[in-house]
Structure 1
């Protein structure tokens, strides 16, 4: 079992906590993490890009000129993709880019992402993160105490003062345990876990 220190927001050590090796000491498979991030980004795509084909273009259906005798190339429609203002060939149409991966692979990838941050000594465990006032200055002061400039803060439930004081600070994101995902872990340099979140993660990822 890995052991790490638990701090309060004043950077005072308050306890030690054991972390399950199956959650924080896994060997990382970069290919699996890449696939999961690609899936998450694809699932977030709107897929609303759209071009007009010749059937969508508004134009006359009359033949521009007769077939023979003009000396010009034959033409049957002003909607032809060869003409300026005509339809587009093989252009984008509204579609879904979403795809899925097995649930076991997604859970394994999340454990690997946590293990990657822990092996680099970028996981911080706090006993609590409640601020006296919901002010950006208070939040920045706490982060400066730990010399952290980018972090994903995982909380067991909604902490209004923390969410309000951190939302205007670039590089930080507050997220409940249920929403923890590979992309956001890898997007931020540090991962800050509140102590109750560890038990929740073990129930979610090791069951």
Structure 2
């Protein structure tokens, strides 16, 4: 697939970039995407939830009433889960929700999302650029020039560029990542993918290993 390369001012650079079929033109695998997104979101969970069972609740352990002859059910101490203020039965405990996913499945998921974005014409290739100083105004100007001001965007850089990253940090609908930190969730969450021309080769190399 060939796409015209654009400058960050919105003008055409006068050349086209090739998006290799082995990454941007495969048959997408929806189940791999589902598994990878589930893995990413599970790893983000804190898992610090906890409730008190009857052994952790403060209260007396004295038997409330005699065993027989009251006409009501038997009752132990006040910490019983049956009473208000008592412990909780099988309550949540701190745990780790993360799980392992095979590397090949993760790569297949990312290639599947790239292919979906390419099929839907939601990929824009940009000529390499940088800002002299980190200013949100500069990044907003770039989005306006590209007509992506109201879209959720993900800009993929070949390496760290502090001025670009800092310029986009205060914007809710945009995110900037390097090739090494591209994940399936961010690719899906963005409506438009902005890929620097010199980031295409590292993406293909990383997903083809």
TM range (shorter): over 0.9
Residue 86 of structure 1: CA displacement?
0.6
Residue 72 of structure 1: CA displacement?
4.2
Structure 1 counterpart of 2:5? 6
Residues 129 and 162 of structure 1 are in contact (CA less than 8 Å); yes or no, is this contact kept in structure 2?
no
Structure 1 counterpart of 2:198? 196
2-structure distance, mates of 1:70, 1:111: 70
Structure 1 counterpart of 2:126? 126
Does structure 1 residue 95 correspond to structure 2 residue 87?
A: no
Residues 59 and 78 of structure 1 are in contact (CA less than 8 Å); yes or no, is this contact kept in structure 2?
yes
Residues 152 and 189 of structure 2 are in contact (CA less than 8 Å); yes or no, is this contact kept in structure 1?
no
Residues 152 and 190 of structure 2 are in contact (CA less than 8 Å); yes or no, is this contact kept in structure 1?
yes
- Secondary structure, aligned partner of 2:51: coil
Residues 36 and 109 of structure 1 are in contact (CA less than 8 Å); yes or no, is this contact kept in structure 2?
yes
1-structure distance, mates of 2:172, 2:75: 57
Structure 2 counterpart of 1:156? 158
Structure 2 counterpart of 1:181? 183
> Runs of 5+ in structure 2 lacking a partner?
none
Name the TM-score, length of structure 1 as normaliser. 0.94
Name the TM-score, length of structure 2 as normaliser. 0.93
Residues 154 and 192 of structure 1 are in contact (CA less than 8 Å); yes or no, is this contact kept in structure 2?
yes
> Runs of 5+ in structure 1 lacking a partner?
none
Structural mapping, 1:26-175, within 5 Å: 26-148=26-148, 149-175=151-177
Residue 188 of structure 1: CA displacement?
0.7
Give 4+ residue runs of structure 1 displaced > 4 Å after superposition.
none
